[in-house]
Every structure is written in structure tokens, then in C-alpha cells.
Amino acid sequence: MIRNKTVKTLASVPYFGAVVRGGISLLVKREAKLIAQHFAEYLRPVVAYKTDTVQEAFRIRHDVYCEELNFEPVRENGMEQDEFDEYSRFCLIEHKPSNNYAGCVRIVSPSSKDEPLPIEKYCSNAIEGAKHHPSQFDRTEICEISRLAVRPQFRRRKADNFDGAASGAINEQTYSEEELRCFPFLAIGLYLSIASLAVRAGTHHAFVMMEPRLARSMSFLGIKFEQLGPAIEYHGLRAPYYISAGTLTRTLPVGFQVLMRNIDKEVEKGCLAARNNDDNDDYIKKMYSPSFYKNDSPNISLRESHKWCESKGLYLPQ
């Protein structure tokens, strides 16, 4: 992103500034295209709704939360699951050259008071008296982003290869230098994928418990989470955060808007496939019924067709 202070100063100079601003505009557009192209070359978002892909998310979570971080006990079946999965939607990121799934994330999407968010059940003290609280909104319009996990081999730097494959390092013969440069975008890709899925489900208000360090990183990239309360000990030091669909749309940098549009197109395909799925599966019926893909839900990739509503904090169709 263009952040150099000298360049910004030159851009404000009369006459000459117009030339500088034109150059910046071209660079930003080029950067946006490169980010989107680089991501699309190696990675693909996948809406996980069938049993095999949902279980793949559970396996990734087990790799990270049970075996690597020891946040949860190791399970005999190698899948980490909890009570919230019954009313959650899932996204995966596929590494296209190997057909392996690199990471996963879910949105817990309640439909009634009998289906609490994890933050309500386990961290209620952290959001007591918060500016934004799940109880302020209709249950069908809230969600919680959770269980974001990226497999270790997709988080290793090239310099870590000497540790060997047994320790989870990347084999240089398997992953090229260009691919390794793209892997830091995995977390961003997961957040944008789940944001697209949430918006398409008519879910406009998202809560998340995460490390303040991660929130700062997201803010630096233009994804502005609002901290709701103090950091507490919950699988490490974590704080409660909130973000609305409108805030995400307004603050997303140009460099990631092209990526968002591309991700949204893939998520749209997955949503339609889930909605039109013929399997007699109770989970799919519940989470991807015909009422899912609502016509009045703002499509992030079509921001120009929506107008910001300050009172609701959302982009609504014009």
C-alpha cells in the first residue's frame, strides 16, 4: 500500500501533485491486480457444506488447536468439534497446486436465543456494557468468527526449511518462493471469505475473540475491528472485537477490494451449490435453506449499488 510520507506530501503540491496522484493511482491499481492474481494463482476459497469438506475443517482445527497449540484435548478421530458447529457455516482455503486445504474458519450463526455465540457463553464478562452487544441485534443478523486455523506448513518461512519436514517446515521442492510470498494472505483470505459468506446470509454484525496483536495487524491492512472490552485469558490473551459488514466494506483498501471481489465470486458459487444441493442432509437444509441467499443482502462485490445507512451501520440496496 502507498504509505510513504514524502510521496503523500508531493501529492498535495499544486500542479505537480496531480501528476504524482496520477502515478499513485496507477501503482495502486497495479498492486491491487497483482495481489488478486497472486492469490488466485495458488489459493481458492471453498464454502464447506458437504460432510467431507466440513470434516476437513475439523481436521485442520485438530492439527492446530489440539496437536500444535494444545488448546483442546487430542481426539481419537483426529477432528476437533464443539457444540457450536451444529449452527455454523464454514470456509476453507484450498492450495490449488497440491489440492490440499491450507486453512479454515467458521461463523457461528444462531437463529434463536437457544443458540448462543461462544463469546456469550464463555466470555460474557468481557463484553458486559460494551457499545455493541449481541443482544442488541436480531439473532439472525449476528455471528461470531471463530476457529480460524492455518496449517503449520503454510505458515513457515523459507528460512525455516532447515528444520526438516518432520517439524512442519516447507519443502522447497514442493512450494516455490512465489507461493511462499502468498501464504501470509491466507488469514486475510479466510477473513474475506467468511465475511462474504456472512453477508450473503444476511448476517451484518460479527463478533470475534482474538489476540490484540492480530487485530492490530488486520487494522494495518485496512480491516478495522472495534475492541469492545479488555483482553482476558482465553486460550492466551484475547480481547472481544466487533465489525459490521458496512465497516468492512468502507475500510477495505483498494489493494484488497479486487481480491474481495474475486473471493466473493467463488463464495457465491459455493452458496448457490449448497442451496441447490440435492442431498437429504439436515445440516445443509438448516444452514443453506432457500431463505439463505437473501436478495436484500448487500453483495460486497457490488458496493456501488448500495448506499451507506448511518443509523443501521450497514450498506443497503439503493
Q: What is the pLDDT of residues 206-249, one digit of tens each?
A: 999 988 888 887 777 678 899 999 998 887 788 999 998 778 77
How many residues in the chain?
A: 318
Rounded Cα gap, residues 165 and 163, in angstroms:
7
Task: Say how many C-beta atoms besides its own lie within 10 A of residue 131's C-beta.
Answer: 11
pLDDT score, position 292: 65
The three cell numbers of residue 67 are: 496437536
Residue 273 pLDDT greater than 70, yes or no: yes
Cell numbers 464443539 correspond to 82
Of 45 and 175, which is predicted with more confidence?
45
Contact 243, 224 (CB under 8 A): yes
pLDDT score, position 299: 46
Burial track 238-253 (b if 16+ CB lie within 10 A, e otherwise): bbbbbbbbbbbbeebb
Q: What is the pLDDT of residues 32-41, one digit of tens each?
A: 577 778 788 8
- pTM exceeds cut of 0.95: no
The upper half-sphere exposure of residue 81, i.e. CA atoms within 13 Å in the direction of its Cβ, equals 14
Residue 129, sorted as left (phi over 0), alpha (psi -120 to 50) or beta, turns out to be left
Give mean pLDDT, residues 276-295. Answer: 77
Contact 66, 75 (CB under 8 A): yes
Task: Round to the nearest angstrom and report the end-to-end CA distance of the chain.
Answer: 31
Rounded Cα gap, residues 27 and 29, in angstroms:
5
**Range with the largest mean pLDDT of 6-10, 231-235, 267-271:** 267-271
The one-letter amino acid code at 112 reads S
What proportion of the chain, given as a percentage, has pLDDT over 70? 70
